[in-house]
Chains A and B, each alone.
Chain A
Amino acid sequence: MGTQLGEPVSVDAIGLPGGSVARRGSRSWRLPFRGDVLSRVGLFILLVFVLVSVFGRWLPLGDAEAVNAGPRLAAPSGHWWAGTDSLGRSVLPRLVQGVGTTFVLAGIAVLVTAVISVVIGMVAAYYRGVVGEVIVRGADVLFAFPSLLLAILLVAITGPGMTGALVSIVLICSPLMVRVVRAASLSVVGRDFVVAARVGGASPVRVLAVHVLPNVAGAAVVQATYALSVGMLIESGLSFLGLGLQPPKASLGSLVHEGAVYLPIAPWLVLIPGGLLALAIMAVNLVGDGLRDALDVRGVEVRR
């Protein structure tokens, strides 16, 4: 192994793909996911979605909430690119708002999940006694809830809205991530360089942050990518049931929900947001697959 005593494995050694991290020696920019066309396409689509969700509000597309901006239930045309809905609102700006909601909400939830789970998972691996056992059992209990039912129980407490969706995504995605991070940490904490650091007097915080974290980062990143797709599924599912973001604000799920009644006469109201949602989630999953293969991470799973 190239790992020296006490020296953390750098991100380069794990082989994180992407132009931002230069591989040893070569400093030239290279396309990520070599030889994996599908993942490259996924990454490109994902980038477009992220750009739209961050900057979409400044696009000159019209007001997403202006009622009677046009005729009701107009089919997509040169003037109304994505048609209009039952209240005469232009659908295109609503789609952009919906993409933003879905990505930002799921993204924030997954960031929170990742931070919490990485800390808890490493702690569970480091303190294998009572603390570790309690954490593992707690994760098991959350795991015993089918995910959407857990979300429904939480929404029953918080009431329909964004808070419920956020808390649901965090609680549904954390158990799996804690498990993955703990498993990855367990294979590191017993290694010589960690033992040497402990013997050398490094504090637990230092050992975990400097010696363990870089070695579990790959698994955590891959799992977080999958968690993003699960988070988007949960958010859109709750919105579809009318339990997520409340109108007049739009999310891709709530757009499908609003359009479902008009499916026979105005199918674009359902098929466009539904298609975008599927495309976005698929792009995230493809990037997750690409990262998993590139980082050679085992043990991550998708759960929905």
Chain B
Amino acid sequence: MLSGAGWRYFGGRVVAGVATLWMVSVLVFAALHLVPGSYAEIVLGPFSSPQARAALTSEFGLDRPLVLQYAEWLRHLIVGDLGSSLGTGEPVTSQLVRRWPVTAELAMLSLLVTVVVGLPLAVLAGLARGRLGRGLSRLLGSSAMSTPDFVIGSLLVYVFSRFSLGLSGGEYVSLTADPLGNMRSMVLPALTLSMFGVALLVRTGRDAVVNVFSSPHVMAALARGESMAHVIRHHVLRNAAVPVLTVLGTYVGYLMGGAVIVENLFSLPGLGQSVLSAINGRDYAVVQGMVLVAAAAFIAINLLADFAYGLVDPRIPAGHRG
């Protein structure tokens, strides 16, 4: 099915992704060594004896050359060992396993809302011809793009609690214990996070739809008498898919940061909360591990988006575009 050029495109993407991931790992490793104060001082406290510090330093091999330390760290990474929390001694991986379902559920719900609400709105905004419609969609899109997520979240919490609308933030219920209660506690966080996604999708999708609509083949299809619904499904959506996919890739990157803020605002026990408490507790191992995993996930998702481009638009792997 794939031509030589297609294989080269997909292969090239994978190689580029792995190379980026490797450089990210170097950067994250270097970041930990830029932290003021030695590791022994952080673990043993500022009043520890020099002997104890020296013992710890040599026990963990921190007196060895940096390159060797990096190689050792990388070896552990590859077998899935992200180190342990400096505070509790719990392995970072077990914290990840415990916490990721909350964050993943939040991200999935937000993505779902974004696509379900944003896509029809983008098409509608693209079809709107009037001056008023364009101005209105620009104003709405611009305000949703500009309002920080924690402001949107606070506003939602305020409105829902002020008028007792039945949903509230702050009481997280796990999905397995009470699916309905879980949904109730997840709706507001997911809405908060999807606001930016919807705005982004409308903004980009609108331009894409307008562009496709002004191209000759759509004119021809309309002139042939094909129905509007048919034209939108077969000509517009498919051609608008590439910019929309790009935007969704960007949105996933935003989600990872946004999750930290929204989990904090709604007290959801996800990965964002553990990163935040790790920073406040100076637990560098946890920060390092989580940031690395998040960056890896982001790279992987963008790789998937690259693959999806290839499937949606065969011109890209063939090297005619992008």
Residues of chain A touching chain B, judged by Cβ–Cβ distance below 8 Å, are 37-38, 137, 140-141, 144-149, 151-157, 159-160, 229, 233, 236-237, 240-243, 253, 256, 260, 263-264, 267, 270-271, 274-275, 277-278, 281-282, 284-286, 289, 302-304
Contacts and interface: CB of A to CB of B under 8 A. Distances in A.
A223 B146 CA distance: 16
A175 B271 CA distance: 26
Contacts of B142: 38, 282, 285-286, 289
Nearest to B20: A144
Contacts of A267: 158, 162
A237 B155 contact: no
A156 B35 contact: yes
**What is the interface of chain A mostly: helix, strand, loop, or mixed?**
helix
Interface stretch (B55-63, B230-238, B292-300): B292-300
A75 to B, nearest CB: 14
A263 B145 contact: no
Contacts of A157: 31, 34-35
B148 interface: yes
A152 B34 contact: no
Nearest to B22: A141
B213 interface: no
10 contacts: A137-B19, A144-B295, A147-B254, A156-B284, A241-B276, A253-B150, A264-B162, A267-B162, A271-B155, A278-B147
Given A156-B288, A278-B151, A303-B253, 6 more contacts: A141-B24, A144-B20, A152-B257, A154-B31, A237-B148, A242-B280
Contacts of A240: 148, 150, 261, 264
B31 A156 contact: yes
Contacts of A149: 256-257, 260, 291, 294-295
Given A146-B294, A152-B291, A270 B279 contact: no
A280 B257 CA distance: 21
Residue in A274, A277, A284 with the greatest tally of chain B CB atoms within 10 Å:
A274
B308 to A, nearest CB: 18
Nearest to B265: A260
B238 to A, nearest CB: 23
Nearest to B298: A146
Contacts of A271: 154-155, 158
Contacts of A159: 36
A240 B279 CA distance: 14
A275 B150 CA distance: 11
Interface string B251-281: 0011111101100110000000001101110
Contact of B256 (A38, A148, A153, A286): A148
Contact of A281 (B148, B154, B260): B148
Contacts of B284: 156
Contacts of A285: 142, 145-146
A155 B279 contact: yes
Contact of B287 (A156, A160, A256): A156
A147 B158 contact: no
B266 to A, nearest CB: 11
